[in-house]
Structure 1
Amino acid sequence: MKRVKFGVAVMAGGLLAMVQPASAHHSFAMFNQASTVEFKGATVVQFQWSNPHVYVVIKNGNTNYTLECSSPSGMRETGWKFDTLKAGDKIDVAFFPMRDGRPGGALKTATLPGGKVLKAW
Structure 2
Amino acid sequence: MNLKSMLFGLALLGSAAPAALAHHSYSAFDMSKLVAIAGTVSEVQFRNPHVWLFVDVLAGDKTETWAIEAGGPNILMRQGWMANTLKPGDKVDLQLAPMRDETKTGGALQALRLPNGKTIGTWK
TM-score normalised to structure 2 length? 0.85
What is aligned with 1:4? 4
1:39-118 matches, cutoff 5 A: 39-40=37-38, 42-61=39-58, 62-102=63-103, 103-118=105-120
Q: Could you give the per-residue CA deviations for residues 48-75 of structure 1, whole angstroms, max 9, x where no partner exists?
A: 1111111110011111111011111111
What is aligned with 1:20? 19
For structure 2, the residue ranges without an aligned partner over 5 or more in a row are none
Q: Which amino acid aligns with 1:108?
A: Q
Count the aligned residue pairs: 116
| d(CA) in 1 for partners of 2:13, 2:34 | 43
| Structure with higher helix content | 1
SS for the counterpart of 1:33 is: coil
Q: Could you give the per-residue CA deviations for residues 47-102 of structure 1, whole angstroms, max 9, x where no partner exists?
A: 11111111110011111111011111111000001011111111110000111122
> How far did 1:3 drift?
4.8
Across the aligned residues of Structure 1 and Structure 2, the Cα RMSD in angstroms comes to: 1.6
Q: Percent identity?
A: 31
TM-score normalised to structure 1 length? 0.87
> How far did 1:21 drift?
2.3
SS for the counterpart of 2:21 is: helix
SS for the counterpart of 2:77 is: helix
For structure 1, the residue ranges without an aligned partner over 5 or more in a row are none
Could you list the structure 1 runs, at least 4 aligned residues long, displaced by more than 3 angstroms after superposition.
2-6
Q: Which amino acid aligns with 1:66?
A: A
